[in-house]
Amino acid sequence: MFSENTKIFAGYALICLLWGSTWLAIRVGLDSLTPILAAGIRFSLAAVLFYTLMKYKKIRVQRDPLSIKLYFIMGIFSFVIPFGLVYWAEQFIATGLTSVLFAIFPFIVIMFSRILIPNETIGPFKIIGSVIAFIGIYFIFSDDLSMDVSTDIWGMAAVLVSATMQGIVAVIIKKHGQELNPLTMNLFPVLIAGIIMIPLGIFTEDMSRVVIDYGAIFSVSYLALFGTVLTFTTYYWLMKRMNLVILSLNSLITPIIAVLLGWFILNESLSMHDLLGTVMVLIGLVLANIAGIIKYYRIKTV
C-alpha cells in the first residue's frame, strides 16, 4: 500500500515526535517518582509489552551466541549506564545543557562509523549539516547554559559519556545486528535494564518521596509504550534501511519537539533564539540529506 520510502519517512517522523514528547512525560513522572526507579519501572513494563507482542506475532527469541552478546551490550551500554548517567546528571545540570551536550551523538556515530563500517557513506554534506544543526541546538538552549564548572563538571561528563556509549553501540548494532528482529533485539536489553535499575533506585534513592498517583502511572505507561516499545522498535527497523548518520540526527530534532510541546502544552515562552535555532537545525538536516534529496528527484523526473 505504501512505498518503502514513505514508511521510512513516517517511521523517522514518529521517533522524532515520540522521543521529543518523552521530556514532558519524564517531567510529569519525576513529580512522583525518583529518577532511577522511574526508569527501571519504565523498562520493566516495556519488557512485558515486548514479550506480549512477540507472543502475539509468534516471533521466536534469537539465541545464537552473537545475538546474546548483543543483548547484553545493549542492555548495559544502551540502557542501564547511559540512562542512569543522564537521569543522575539532571540532578545537577539544566535540561538545556543536557540537550546540547547530548547533541554530540551524531558526531560519535560519524567517528565510529568511519572506523567500524568503512562502507557507510558519510561525505562532507552530512558532516557540515550535522555541525549546522548542532549550532542550532546551541542557539535554542543558549539562555539555559549557565554552569559552574567546579560543581557541574561531573554531571556534564556523565552526559558526554552517555552520548558516547549510545553512539558506539548504535554503530555496533548497525554492523552486527542486521539479522536481529527489532522486537527481539529490544526485549532482553530492556529486561536487563529493569532488573538492574529498580533495585538500584530502591537502595540509592529517597523512597520516602515516591508517590503512586495518576501522574506516575501516566508517565511510566506512556514512556514504556510510546517512549520505548514503539520508538526503539521503529528505530532499529530504520537502522536496517537508512544511513546511520542520517538516522542519528533525530537526536537534534527531538529537543525542538520538546521545546514546541512545552510552548503548546505548558505555555512556555518561545524566543527568537528558539526560532533561529530551529531554522538552523532544519537547514542542517537538509544539507545532511542533500545527496538523498537529489537522488530522489532525479528518479522522479526520469
pLDDT digits (tens, 9 = 90+) for 155-172: 888 889 999 999 999 999
CA distance 213 to 61: 35
CA distance 252 to 256: 8
Scanning the structure block, which residue is given the C-alpha cell 548518520? 245
Mean pLDDT lowest among 34-38, 205-209, 292-296: 292-296
Burial environment of residue 260 by CB neighbours within 10 A (0 to 12, 13 to 18, 19 or more): middle
What is residue 243's predicted lDDT score, i.e. its pLDDT?
85
How big is the chain, counted in residues? 302
Mean pLDDT for the stretch of residues 12-33: 85
Q: Which residue has the higher pLDDT, 26 or 214?
A: 214
Give the count of alpha carbons within 13 A of 293, CB side only: 9
* pLDDT at 99 > cutoff 90: no
Mean pLDDT lowest among 90-104, 140-154, 206-220: 140-154
Burial environment of residue 117 by CB neighbours within 10 A (0 to 12, 13 to 18, 19 or more): middle
CA distance 168 to 270: 34
Give the count of alpha carbons within 13 A of 41, CB side only: 22
CA distance 56 to 52: 6
Range of the domain at 69: 4-301
Alpha helices by DSSP H, listed for the chain, are 4-29, 35-57, 65-74, 81-89, 95-102, 105-116, 123-140, 149-176, 184-204, 214-224, 231-239, 244-248, 250-266, 272-288, 290-301
Q: Which residue has the higher pLDDT, 97 or 84?
A: 84
pLDDT classification of 187: cutoffs 50, 70, 90: very high
What is residue 295's predicted lDDT score, i.e. its pLDDT?
59
Using the 8-state DSSP alphabet, how is residue 226 labeled? I
Query: What are the cell numbers at 70?
Result: 548483543
* pLDDT at 11 > cutoff 60: yes
Is residue 140 within 8 A of residue 259, CB to CB? The reply is yes
Q: pLDDT, tens digit, for every residue of 218-263?
A: 999 999 999 999 999 999 999 988 888 888 888 888 888 877 777 7
Q: Where are the beta strands (DSSP E) in 87-185?
A: none
Query: What are the cell numbers at 239?
Result: 537502522
* pLDDT at 301 > cutoff 60: no
Q: Provide, rounded to the nearest whole percent, the portion of the chain with pLDDT above 90.
A: 32
Query: What are the cell numbers at 196?
Result: 538492574
What is residue 245's predicted lDDT score, i.e. its pLDDT?
84
Average pLDDT, the chain: 84
Tally of domains within the chain: 1
What is residue 218's predicted lDDT score, i.e. its pLDDT?
92
Q: pLDDT, tens digit, for every residue of 52-82?
A: 999 999 988 888 888 899 999 999 999 999 9
Is residue 274 within 8 A of residue 259, CB to CB? The reply is yes
What is residue 148's predicted lDDT score, i.e. its pLDDT?
61
Q: Which residue has the higher pLDDT, 39 or 122?
A: 39
CA distance 87 to 159: 9
Scanning the structure block, which residue is given the C-alpha cell 540532578? 91
What is residue 46's predicted lDDT score, i.e. its pLDDT?
96
What is residue 80's predicted lDDT score, i.e. its pLDDT?
93
What is residue 14's predicted lDDT score, i.e. its pLDDT?
93
Scanning the structure block, which residue is given the C-alpha cell 538536516? 285
pLDDT classification of 151: cutoffs 50, 70, 90: low
